[in-house]
Amino acid sequence: MHDGRMTAAHSTTDTHTPTRRAVVIGGASGLGRAIAIALAADGCRITVADRDLEAATAVADALGDDGHDAQPVDVTDEASVAALFDDHEAPDVVVNSAGISTFGLITELDAEQFRSVVDVNLTGGFLVVKHAGRRLADGGALVSITSLNARQPAVGMSAYCSAKAGLVMLTQVGAMELGARGIRVNAVSPGFVPTPLTDPATAVPGVVDDYLANTPLGRVGTPEDVANAVVFLCSANASWMTGEVIDLNGGAHLMRYPDLHGHIMALMEPQ
């Protein structure tokens, strides 16, 4: 599914002379890591921001010697998000890929679990838009990573679905408010992509097959698929695009979401 090699479909800049500064939040692993690599290949000087500073540093070091660095950030802590932007030069590109999920029926889900998912995915998204919006260079680009679950509900995923749906509306409001400065605010809404976030679902027998059966293109996504879409949204090729949420899921949004709850219940039945 993913062999670790990164490509950038829209690379237009000499990779040895980075000209734009990009902050990738959640860049230590998964989609964020792929996005950081693709933006670096497109000529950006990357700040890899993550709660896991050691892993973020490893990603930044692997990008080469073009001034890339790593910074700690916790998107649930406003002071941490503010410091990420206030302590450095104004970025041209900001990507927020931080996200967590949980599983549980509404009638059984602990309120703190619900809040923790909303805190990272939605409140964290708000804090990033707030402080990035203050510091982004005029004409810059801000991209959030939402989810197929922003439009497709799934039994047992009330917190994640609600938070990602809220992030879509936050993206659209952000586009309206920051447009006067030429700042474009968009989002990519991936379907199923194998990452650490989706590993628990992948481990449940039948889930991936169910997803593929409801995906017209018949395959899961890769981190590179998402990264290439982000590179496009951050490029001059998308200079007239704002407030847009790109459904990137092989057409899965046209059908139904996998019965994750049903597959989990089947797994728990006595054999």
Hey, which residues are catalytic here? 160
- HSE, CB side, 13 Å, CA atoms: give it for residue 102: 21
- Give ∠ CA 17-23-26 in degrees, rounded to 5: 130
Longest dimension (CA), the chain: 61
In angstroms, rounded to a whole number, what is the distance separating the alpha carbons of residues 43 and 238?
Answer: 16
C-alpha pair distances (Å), 251 with each of 179, 192, 223: 30, 11, 17
Q: What are phi and psi of 116, to 5 degrees?
A: -65, -35
At a CB cut-off of 8 Å and minimum separation 6, what does 195 contact? 29, 30, 31, 223
In angstroms, rounded to a whole number, what is the distance separating the alpha carbons of residues 254 and 34?
Answer: 26
In angstroms, rounded to a whole number, what is the distance separating the alpha carbons of residues 223 and 89?
Answer: 28
